Amino acid sequence: MTNRVMSFSSLRNNRLPLFLGLALCLGLGSCDKTQPITTVGEPAQLQIGAAGDHALQITLKPQDYDMESYGHIVFEDREKTEYTIDITELRSNLTETINGLEVHVSTNPLTVTVTSEEGIMIQQLVFDDEGNVSFDIDESPILGLGEGGPKPEKDANWREHDIEFDRKGRLHKMIPRWQATAYGSRNPVSMLVGTGGWGLWMVTPWGQIDLSSDSTGVYSPITPEQGFYIQQNQKNQQENTGKGIPPKYINGLYDIYVFDGHDPKALMKDISTISGPAIMPPKWTMGYMQSHRTLETDEEMMDIVNTFREKEIPMDAVIYLGTGFTPVGWNTEQPSFEFNPEVFKKSPEKVIDEMHSKNAKVVLHVVTWDRNRLETLHGSIPPKEGEEVDSSHILTHWKEHVPLMNMGVDAFWPDEGDWFNLFERLNRHKMYYQGPLSKKPNLRPWSLHRNGYLGIAQWGGWIWSGDTDSSWKTLEGQIAVGINSSLSLSPFWGSDIGGFYPNEEYTAELFTRWFQFGAFCPSFRSHGRTWWTHLPWGWGLDERGPLETRTPPLESEMNNNTIEPITKAYAEVRYQLLPYNYTLAWEARDKGLPMMRALWLHHPNDSKAKAIGDEYLWGENMLIAPIFEKGATGRNVYLPEGTWYDWWTGESLEGGKTIQKEVDLTVMPIYIKAGAIIPMDPIRQYVDEKVDEPTTIKVWSGADGTFELYTDDGKTLDYLDGAYSLTKFQWNDAKKTMTIVAGNGENIEKEFVIELMPTGERKQVSYSGDSVLVSF
């Protein structure tokens, strides 16, 4: 929304509920008549209270319904909202100031209007007797809504390969599904990010959101009869509620958050606070992960690890698919937790130990239950008082993993689960956080999932976009998918580098471009069928390896020795950016900001930046513009306002316009904003490798800048108790000085090299917690 000031004539759609009600009151003399609050035509209770720093929680529920029996999808053991407004009837229009926002309530129909104290319109909700909630739409793009997008339909208004970034213009049925198209899996989250200055989160599952109108959006809950994924879990609903498991659908229940989004960073902080701050991932997850499919022997598995080390291509983890999802995997037929004797000629423990000796983590693909089960996944680890540990309790399923952890397995890749309801999605992520901690109490867990919901970040929720096609349009689509997912699902996202389903469009060029993009995604991981071609050196081989598909990549694409050095170079840049990337992970926890950011987050007043979904910010001042066109020799890149530097050439460019960047296969456009401060380390072969050279603090001249470098041990939960350090770098461009001061947390002693860009002038400095001034 533009900063429109609320007036009697400015509310959209001629609804004017507050003022129309007042007029009726005065004209008909009915001011003294009490109007009952209703939901779907039945007596109801309306509660409104503060949430976060700039948001409201609005709950409308049947009057006789006890929310204690419902619980909350996301929250556990949190302080309940203190409701400033708590009414079952309304004598006249009601106005209250809550959390710095003006809240106006009227009836016939029940309407809640939220403005700032200055009168700037935030949002207006209108509840009708059919169960719909309408809300304001303005001219700005609407982002979020979780991961994925519409399945292309030729007979719809959408062209077959439209890439959806702005969510406006259609009905979103919000049904989760596996989807092998350019958008990958669908992980719907009813979190709308209005780039005009508002946010809405309709927490109550499930729902569909109609954004086809230019002025009014409509949220409609999906009843049990309307949704397949709900039907599956209705059979045991009565029994399950006795175990403290919330029912899936309550007619007339609405749990909605309204956010003031005029400051995007404040909006993201509120979303993080309300849904649960992200936990810090293990530091090794900032590295490269190599996925494997059809296996031959444990010797072959070790050969891959050894090849990474011999070729000096950085790598931190190897991931193994399960049998059934590939002809021969790490285990016997999925679902199974038994190692495959056809593959492991030596004991699995010995193989894992050998991989650890090469500083490679081991991640296993698992499927932990039958998709046709009707129970509802529930519980905590350890179980809380009164919890029934039955076949559907997460502890029951977690116990299957314990022998693997005892053998040294580092992490898990739980697949499937697309049929889970929203409660189960949260509980599954919780299982893979609490479960490992029950075995190793002070070692950070990690897991990679196909599905989730807003709130998984508190359990370390990492998401990948599912089994995508290997195509250029798929690669283009992943950029928008990643941005929207990062805004509304989890700050930690990634895709299968190269795409999962190979075909004749899957070439060495496509893999290279996807690898470059993947190096600037939170999850840096290659995976897909014909998996040898997903190795950094795979296209230089003279054979494609196990094909696993009827349409493999063309054999003529092999023996291409130009690809390996390019992928190696981008992997090295990823590892050089380790201190920067790890700080971004901390910002996801501390500030709610995703690593992969829409341009709008830092340029909210730039109307063009709001609508761009094929480039993004990596942190605040590093702009990434992936190449997604075959044979590209150039790429249009929009640079927001300010001075920007070409990462590769050092050329200075003024923003606020679109520029044309010439490229060859070695170049993905990257731009750095003046004033940016980016720490870079020497090249490592794995995250925990010790290096002798100091961290280089690169500062791009032309504007003042600030950066807080975050460090901790990268492994334990000690950071939760303050065992971390923040080192603040402040650049004064006019004086050409860098000041280094201690932030919050513990002090560190470290050598830094301050490098002034783009000239390359360097100065080394010792820092031990006291303020240091470096002059150029």
The domains of the chain are located at 38-84+126-262, 283-589, 596-672, 694-775
How confident is the model over 734-747, as a mean pLDDT? 88
Model pLDDT for residues 667-717, shown as the tens digit of each residue: 999 999 999 999 999 999 999 999 999 999 999 999 999 999 999 999 999
> Which pLDDT belongs to residue 226?
53
Domain 694-775 coded CATH 1.10.357.10: no
Angle at 484 between CA 263 and CA 714, to 5 degrees: 85
Q: Do domains 38-84+126-262 and 596-672 have the same CATH topology?
A: yes
Q: List for the chain the helix, strand, coil content (%; round to 5).
A: 25, 30, 50
pLDDT class for 375, splitting at 50, 70, 90?
Answer: low
Q: Region of 52 please: left (phi>0), alpha (psi -120 to 50) or beta.
A: left
Residue 223: the pLDDT is 59
What pLDDT, on the 0 to 100 scale, is given for residue 246?
A: 47
Q: DSSP 3-state assignment of 97?
A: strand
With beta carbons less than 8 A apart as the criterion, state whether 150 and 168 touch: no
What pLDDT score does 233 carry?
Answer: 43
In DSSP notation, 591-632 reads T---SEE-GGGT-TT-HHHHT--S-EEESSSEEE----STT-
Architecture in CATH for domain 283-589 = Alpha-Beta Barrel (3.20)
- pLDDT for 202 equals 93
The pLDDT of residue 137: 96
Please tell me the predicted confidence (pLDDT) of residue 706. 98
Closest CA to 679 of 544, 580, 760, 588: 580
Average pLDDT estimate for 180-199 = 88
Residue 744: predicted pLDDT: 78
Note the pLDDT tens digit of each residue in 292-348: 999 999 999 999 999 999 999 999 999 999 999 999 999 999 999 999 999 999 999
> Tell me, what's the pLDDT at 475?
95
* C-alpha to C-alpha distances, 529 to 513, 515, 541, 684, nearest whole angstrom: 18, 16, 16, 29
- Is residue 251's pLDDT more than 50? yes
Quick one: CATH architecture of 596-672? Sandwich (2.60)
Q: What is the mean pLDDT of residues 213-223?
A: 88
Has residue 224 got a pLDDT over 80? no
Average pLDDT value for residue range 376-394 = 91
Give the sign of the dihedral formed by CA 573, CA 577, CA 578, CA 582: negative
Q: Percent of the chain at pLDDT above 90?
A: 77
Give the residue among 540, 593, 541, 585 at the shortest CA–CA distance from 563.
540
Provide the token pair at 98.
């809550």
Range in 71-80, 363-372, 619-628, 708-717 the model is least confident about: 71-80
pLDDT at 92: 86
For residue 16 the two structure tokens come to 């004017």
Say what the pLDDT of residue 242 is: 39
Whose CA is closest to 485, among 93, 85, 38, 148? 148
Matching residue, tokens 């280089």: 696
- Does residue 741 come out as left (phi exceeding 0), alpha (psi in the -120 to 50 range) or beta? beta
What's the confidence (pLDDT) of residue 152? 55
Q: Residue written as tokens 């209250």? A: 96
Q: Give me the pLDDT at residue 70, please.
A: 64
Sign of the Cα torsion 686, 691, 693, 699 reads positive
User: What is the distance between the alpha carbons of residues 562 and 253, in angstroms, rounded to a whole number?
Assistant: 59
CA distance 5 to 718: 47
Q: How confident is the model at residue 205 (pLDDT cuts 50, 70, 90)?
A: low
CATH superfamily, domain 38-84+126-262, is glycosyl hydrolase (family 31) (2.60.40.1760)
- Cis preceding-peptide flag for 246 (omega within 30 of 0): no
Q: What is the mean pLDDT of the chain?
A: 89
Distance CA 127, CA 121 (A): 18
Pairwise pLDDT comparison (706 vs 250), residue with the higher score: 706
Q: pLDDT-based confidence at 463, cuts 50/70/90?
A: very high
Q: From the CB of residue 643, how many other CB atoms can be counted at a distance below 10 Å? A: 17
Q: pLDDT tens digits, residue range 548-564?
A: 888 889 999 999 999 99
**Band of residue 228 on the pLDDT scale cut at 50, 70, 90:** very low
pLDDT above 60: residue 572: yes
pLDDT, mean of residues 424-432: 93
CB 191 within 8 A of CB 145: yes
> Given a cut of 80, is residue 450 above it in pLDDT?
yes
What's the average model confidence in pLDDT over 76-101?
90
C-alpha span between 767 and 118 (Å, rounded): 46
The pLDDT of residue 158 is above 70: no
